[in-house]
Amino acid sequence: MTEQNNSSQVVLEPEQYETLAQLASKQNRTISDVAQEVVRLGLESLEIKKQRRKEALERLEQMREEIYRTHGMYPGDPVAEVRTEREKQIDRVNLK
């Protein structure tokens, strides 16, 4: 199978271009080669972060299920309870 290269024009900030040019010069490579490597590494990094987030969510789901099995579902309405308590606090402050 032959590998097909696609070309694209990317607008870089001057500092980004200068950094790529310096890296390319130090490594005796073209700016294009260095830019391709940077993009590849960036995409790999994004994929790793995505996988870590997915694994974290899976662990949280397992913890939630374990808590539910151990303690059951809370029968009340926490939001309504907090609002009621907050209203009582406001009333106490207003009465002073």
Domain ranges of the chain: 14-95
Q: Characterize 7-18 residue by residue with b for buried, 16 or more Cβ atoms within 10 angstroms of its Cβ, and e for exposed.
A: eeeeeeeeeeee
Query: How many Cβ atoms from other residues are within 10 Å of residue 35's Cβ?
Result: 18
Residue 89, pLDDT score: 94
Between the alpha carbon of residue 89 and those of residues 79, 81, 82, 86, 93, the distances in Å are 15, 12, 10, 5, 6
Residue 1, pLDDT score: 56
**How much is the pTM?**
0.62
Single-letter code of the amino acid located at 69: R
Confidence at 95, pLDDT banded by 50, 70, 90: confident
